[in-house]
Amino acid sequence: MKDMTRREFISKASRISGMSLGMFVAGSGMPLPATLRAVQVGFPEKSWEGRGSGAGRTLVAYDSKCGTTGEIAVRMGEVIAQSGAAVDVLKVQNVSDLSQYRAVIVGSAVHGGKWLSGAMEFVAYNQETLCTVPVAYFLACYTMRDPTSENRRLAMEYMQPTLEAAPSVEPVATGLFAGVVDYSRLSFLTSKILQVRGVKEGDFRDWGAIMAWAGWMHTLLGIKGGV
């Protein structure tokens, strides 16, 4: 069952009125020099070799600025690997050979009202390959800390530039998750902009929802585990 095709989404999505967090922080999606952050930011990657052979590998690729979307991707990889499937969790910039994957999940943090450019470029550049395998997208954002129907609609809007960047890829599902705001991972300037805008710090991730979605993707993407 598909969540919603791109065509359906475009026709159904209405324009957002009012001011979104994307507008709040427009221009603050600037690179965050490590020297300006209070803590060292890491981007986790992990692989599971799986049991059995011939089932093909699954890729969970992500882009992130402050590291926390990578932690979501790793948790998804863990859930999928529990069945014995071979899984790689990689930052999009480190994916080298897409042809080895039979199913792909791509996710990104939302900064400035859309996926990070690395994730969008990844799907746009690889769309010929990605349209030949089942693909799912996810995002992590502040808006989904309060998953009202209006906020879900706004979060789906964040996905729109990605859908337009890779029109031949039709994701079978789109996971919309709450992320993390941690000022110690941001530059002084960015954290000040967010504070002034009333953005609250917190780890808003709903691990139950993330793991349930990953389990659902195991079925929906036809991922085969070992015996």
Ligand X SMILES: Cc1cc2nc3c(=O)[nH]c(=O)nc-3n(C[C@H](O)[C@H](O)[C@H](O)COP(=O)(O)O)c2cc1C
What is the contact surface with ligand X in residues (CB under 6 A)? 21-22, 25, 28-29, 64-69, 109-113, 140-143, 179-181, 186, 190
Nearer to ligand X, 211 or 220 (CB): 211
Residue 205: CB minimum distance to ligand X, A: 8
Residue 148: CB minimum distance to ligand X, A: 13
Nearer to ligand X, 69 or 126 (CB): 69
Nearer to ligand X, 100 or 184 (CB): 184
Are the CB atoms for 54 and 100 separated by under 8 Å? Answer: no
214: Cα separation from own chain's centroid:
12
Nearer to ligand X, 27 or 54 (CB): 27
Residue 18: CB minimum distance to ligand X, A: 13
Residue 128: CB minimum distance to ligand X, A: 27
Which residue of this chain has its Cβ atom nearest to ligand X in the complex?
179
Other C-beta atoms lying within 10 Å of the C-beta of residue 21:
20
